[in-house]
Amino acid sequence: GAIDLGPYRHYMQKEIFEQPRAITDTLQGIEGFVPSLFGDKAATVFERINAIQVLACGTSYYSAMTAKYWLESIAGIPTNVEIASEYRYRTPAVNPDALVVVVSQSGETADTLAALKYAKELGHKHSLAICNVGTSAMVRETELSYLTRAGVEIGVASTKAFTTQLTALFLLTMTLAKMRGRLTPEQEHQHLKNLRHLPNALQSVLALEPNIIAWAESFARKENALFLGRGLHYPIALEGALKLKEISYIHAEAYPAGELKHGPLALVTEEMPVVTVAPNDALIEKLKSNMQEVRARGGQLYVFADSDSHLASSEGVHVIRLPEHYGELSPILHVVPLQLLAYHTALARGTDVDKPRNLAKSVTVE
């Protein structure tokens, strides 16, 4: 290919390991959370909006789902997130003062672009693109934009585009929170510090690769997997399941852990690996009882915990600890081991990791 693989076997693996650099680049030049990051008109636009309507597809939809938790809890802005291919063919009740945000790696996905145009026709006054390609149709069609600097992404399964989208969406959250008087200068300083330390924190997560390779061996022999998460990490569980099915062809589903008892528990046997995204946050105790429900049916738990949580490996419970708990930014760290798990499982199964069957990098026709 045009881009050298260096020491990596696939573009996907290379792109997973490029994430610290991609995030550093995406944060380049940021000294504070100011509207001008999103364009000259952003200060005026952000004053006028009273809600957010996000439209996206695939992995980009999951970064948007994560951002909904941030935008509502931190910035206090009512946020809707919808799959672009659904939105474009229905009749939504439109709030013209809701900022339309399209999230897209390519900026060319046909459904997202059509949904954006439709939203404008329906009367939405303002739009913003979070995009990895500055010359794309979506950036041209929106009045505001924030460019992620992931660099060219070749692997069909998106990785560094996702974590840089999350970074950009966090910047949007912070900027809106600050404008709405919900961020003290001390908090702003602390958040900036946390963001700047993210690439280092990511390096330590990437160093867990050998532990994940050991898990991938047993995953490769399964045909089904369940992913659980709660709150901010429910979309991360969804993204983990998507990565696994895209490249290893293992059927994977994600559920918010509290919903286990309303259906998926019926699927749990000794044959079912249950991947649990378990950061040490306010929901950890609830999650532990969800995990017991799985164990009681013989399910095998594969838990991604944080260093400071009291979760230990035991029979049927495998635990990998992430080096540090990262608060609101934790989804950016917790998705990385799920990318590596999908990658190494696919590798063990011998699939075409960078070009999975039936999928395309960018879907520009309907």
Q: Which positions are catalytic?
A: 361
- State the minimum distance, in angstroms, from the CB of residue 357 to ligand G6P: 12
Stretch that binds ligand G6P, among 90-98, 155-163, 316-324, 340-348 (CB under 6 A): 155-163
Residue with smaller CB distance to ligand G6P, 27 or 150? 150
- Reading phi first (left if > 0) and then psi (alpha if -120 to 50, else beta), residue 7 is in alpha
- State the minimum distance, in angstroms, from the CB of residue 301 to ligand G6P: 28
- State the minimum distance, in angstroms, from the CB of residue 157 to ligand G6P: 6
Q: What is the β-pairing status of strands 79-83 and 317-322? A: unpaired
Residue number, nearest CB to ligand G6P: 58
Using the rule CB under 6 A, which residue among 105, 175, 248, 309 binds ligand G6P? 105
Q: Say whether residue 156 binds ligand G6P (CB under 6 A).
A: yes
- Distance between CA atoms of residues 106 and 75, nearest Å: 27
- State the minimum distance, in angstroms, from the CB of residue 129 to ligand G6P: 10
- State the minimum distance, in angstroms, from the CB of residue 360 to ligand G6P: 6
- Distance between CA atoms of residues 33 and 22, nearest Å: 19
- State the minimum distance, in angstroms, from the CB of residue 144 to ligand G6P: 18
Residue count at the site for ligand G6P (CB under 6 A)?
A: 16
Q: Say whether residue 60 binds ligand G6P (CB under 6 A).
A: yes
Q: Say whether residue 12 binds ligand G6P (CB under 6 A).
A: no
Stretch that binds ligand G6P, among 114-122, 150-158, 186-194, 231-239 (CB under 6 A): 150-158
Instruction: Read off the amino acid at residue 160.
Output: K
Longest CA span, the chain: 57
Q: Say whether residue 325 binds ligand G6P (CB under 6 A).
A: no
Residue with smaller CB distance to ligand G6P, 194 or 362? 362
Q: Say whether residue 331 binds ligand G6P (CB under 6 A).
A: no
Using the rule CB under 6 A, which residue among 123, 184, 359, 364 binds ligand G6P? 359
Stretch that binds ligand G6P, among 67-75, 118-126, 154-162, 231-239 (CB under 6 A): 154-162
Using the rule CB under 6 A, which residue among 109, 163, 167, 248 binds ligand G6P? 109
Residue with smaller CB distance to ligand G6P, 59 or 276? 59
Stretch that binds ligand G6P, among 104-112, 213-221, 249-257, 261-269 (CB under 6 A): 104-112
* Residues binding ligand G6P (CB under 6 A): 57-60, 104-106, 109, 112, 156-158, 359, 361-363
